[in-house]
Amino acid sequence: MIAIIDYNAGNVASVKNALSRLGVDCIITSEPAIILSAQGVIFPGQGRAGTAMKELQKSGIDKTIAEISRPFLGICLGMQLLSEFSEEDSTKCLSIIKGKCLKFPPAMKTPHLGWNKVEFVKDSPINKGVANGAYFYFVHSYYFAADDNCVIGKTAYGFEFPSMAQKDNFFATQFHPEKSGQAGSVLLNNFCKLCQQ
């Protein structure tokens, strides 16, 4: 069973539907005990960093996430909240992965919206079988300038920014794999296989 964290900021229905299409059992929950007992955890997100962190702190999920030892996947805002700090709402984040979330420069059109390539800079269990340069679906106005040692994929939008990261059992994507067609399905399926090990 994979737990999808519900914190009033996530696109949880789309993630659940994507997992259901893969035949994977999942549960949408905000219960720390269920999250900690799951085979894996997905942390989707849409909305603002400040509001999302307040919701996580209110429910205690912020502390729960730090205790997770099973495979964990942060998506979009869920990736950004794994950082140390976000310029959005000047928010102190979860500090799972070193780095800060920065707003795209004013001259650039935001949000960065639509399909874009992801170039892999490191092999990872979650990008196995996904073509280098595959297109994924993005919608975001901030990007995670993650520690180079943790970056596994980059995307060009005016400049190159990290679009995939990994630290230990924590994986993160700036794009939405659940909305990214075949490439997204392969990536999610790879994650689910890790959860079953």
User: Which of 126, 129, 115, 53 is closest to 86 using CA atoms?
Assistant: 53
Q: Under the phi-then-psi rule, with left for phi > 0, alpha for psi from -120 to 50, and beta for the rest, what region is 168?
A: left
Q: Which helix (H) or strand (E) holds 41?
A: strand 40-43
For residue 129, the SS3 value is: coil
CA atoms of 24 and 18, how far apart (whole Å) = 9
Is 176 a catalytic site residue?
Answer: yes
User: Which of 100, 80, 103 is closest to 175 using CA atoms?
Assistant: 80
Return the biggest CA–CA distance within the chain: 46
Contact by Cβ (8 Å): 190, 134: no
One of 76, 101, 192, 195 is an active-site residue; which one?
76
Q: Which helix (H) or strand (E) holds 143?
A: strand 142-146
Residues 6+ apart with CB under 8 A from 18: 177, 178, 184, 185, 188
Is 140 a catalytic site residue?
Answer: no
**And the tokens for 129?**
């079988």
One of 26, 55, 88, 176 is an active-site residue; which one?
176
Is 76 a catalytic site residue?
Answer: yes
Give the active site residues: 76, 176, 178
